[in-house]
């Protein structure tokens, strides 16, 4: 027998023996690997080492259209040691945890409007924040007039669940006073207004065009010379361009009409007229990537990040098709946002760095 054939037999034998050994000890190996994962992940706090400044985490970049890779609308904003969240789409609270950001440290939530995909994850957001830090006060939820009814509904829906958890874990672990949320409504009499000032952070709400959804707002966060604007859902908006003037980072929703039109045609062809009507209708109250790029250019922002991506697509390979002519209209950096991205804007600097936490 040739030497090469002997070596092949030996290697085959080793492979078979290894496979049998793994099967025999699979439970023990699994327990050991699980222990390593637990030791590495439990109690992580990826915010602890961040420098003073603004830090923007994408905890949900999706839309109501099903997408396995994107949670519903959710953006984390950290200013100094304070953590706020803009919108609470389905899966957002889960992603915050997966990103190594403690839900128990969330100071408050800002809702842009009352479409379901921007608040259907509010229940887990309230729960994980309460249980994660033994909160003694409810989650503060800021929003335009109407947020009171939203919060009352969620509090009523979760009241029974809250009572079970208090009875099971005890009041020291889940203080009754910390369950649920408290509505912090504000009226939009003009185009914009300051809705929060705290420890050097200023949060400004501004009207956007999402008709027939009203009220609908976006938010600007300013902290120690750094600034980020979160558009909320909107068609191209002159108010947004004014409020976003010279911001470091603009986080803007985007819908690519060319791709959505192809979805509509396929739905019509399959006889799914109801869904096709919806995909036709959504074209008129969202901005295209090109329009968002125009707004970024007009406002003079430093960087443009897309979120609330419509339609869903399976990989980064499709980013150019989604962007269309946006890169020709805005010469700054453009990023198609993905769940788990974290953008850091250190105080006293002009830099914007990016990392992926998921």
pLDDT in tens, 195-231: 999 999 999 999 999 999 999 999 999 999 999 999 9
Residue pair 173/131 in contact (Cβ under 8 Å)? The answer is: yes
pLDDT in tens, 307-326: 999 999 999 999 999 999 99
**Residue 196 is encoded by which pair of tokens?**
């929060």
In this prediction the pTM is 0.93
What pLDDT score does 2 carry? 65
pLDDT in tens, 42-101: 889 999 999 999 999 999 999 999 999 999 999 999 999 999 999 999 999 999 999 999
Residue pair 109/96 in contact (Cβ under 8 Å)? The answer is: no
Supply angle C-alpha 105, 171, 151, rounded to 5. 55
Alpha-carbon span 299 to 252, nearest angstrom? 13
Task: Give the sign of the dihedral formed by CA 284, CA 287, CA 291, CA 297.
Answer: positive
Question: What integer best gives the mean pLDDT of the chain?
Answer: 95
- The verdict on whether 191 is a catalytic residue reads no
What pLDDT score does 228 carry? 98
Residues 6 or more apart whose Cβ sits within 8 Å of residue 1: none
What pLDDT score does 1 carry? 53
The catalytic residue among 117, 120, 209, 233 is 117
pLDDT in tens, 277-307: 999 999 999 999 999 999 999 999 999 999 9
pLDDT in tens, 245-283: 999 999 999 999 999 999 999 999 999 999 999 999 999
Task: Tell me: pLDDT of 14 over 80.
Answer: no
């Amino acid at each position: 027998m040739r030497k090469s054939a002997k070596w092949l037999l030996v290697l085959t034998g080793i492979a078979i023996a290894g496979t049998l050994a793994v099967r025999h000890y699979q439970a023990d190996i699994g327990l050991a690997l699980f222990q390593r994962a637990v030791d590495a992940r439990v109690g992580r706090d990826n915010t602890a080492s961040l420098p003073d400044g603004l830090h923007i985490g994408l905890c949900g970049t999706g839309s109501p259209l099903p997408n396995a890779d994107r949670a519903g609308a959710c953006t984390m904003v950290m200013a100094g040691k304070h953590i706020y969240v803009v919108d609470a789409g389905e899966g957002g609270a889960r992603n915050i945890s997966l990103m190594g950001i403690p839900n128990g440290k969330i100071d408050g939530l800002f809702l842009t409007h009352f479409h379901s995909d921007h608040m259907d994850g509010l229940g887990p957001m309230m729960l994980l924040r309460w249980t994660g830090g033994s909160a003694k006060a409810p989650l503060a939820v800021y929003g335009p007039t109407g947020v009171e009814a939203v919060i009352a509904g969620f509090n009523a829906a979760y009241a029974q669940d809250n009572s079970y958890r208090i009875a099971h874990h005890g009041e020291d672990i889940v203080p009754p006073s910390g369950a649920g949320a408290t509505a912090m409504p504000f009226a939009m009499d003009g185009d914009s207004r300051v809705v929060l000032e705290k420890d050097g952070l200023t949060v400004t709400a501004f009207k956007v065009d999402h008709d027939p959804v009203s009220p609908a707002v976006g938010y600007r966060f300013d902290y120690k010379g750094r600034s980020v604007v979160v558009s909320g859902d909107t068609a191209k908006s002159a108010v947004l361009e004014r409020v976003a003037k010279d911001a470091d980072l603009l986080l803007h929703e985007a819908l690519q009409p060319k791709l959505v039109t192809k979805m509509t045609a396929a739905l019509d062809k399959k006889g799914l007229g109801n869904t096709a009507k919806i995909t036709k209708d959504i074209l008129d109250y969202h901005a295209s990537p090109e329009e968002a790029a125009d707004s970024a250019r007009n406002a003079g922002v430093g960087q443009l990040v897309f979120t609330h991506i419509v339609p869903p697509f399976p990989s980064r390979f499709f980013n150019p098709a989604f962007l269309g002519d946006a890169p020709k209209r805005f010469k700054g950096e453009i990023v198609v946002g993905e769940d788990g991205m974290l953008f850091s804007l250190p105080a006293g600097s002009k830099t914007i760095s990016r990392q992926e936490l998921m």
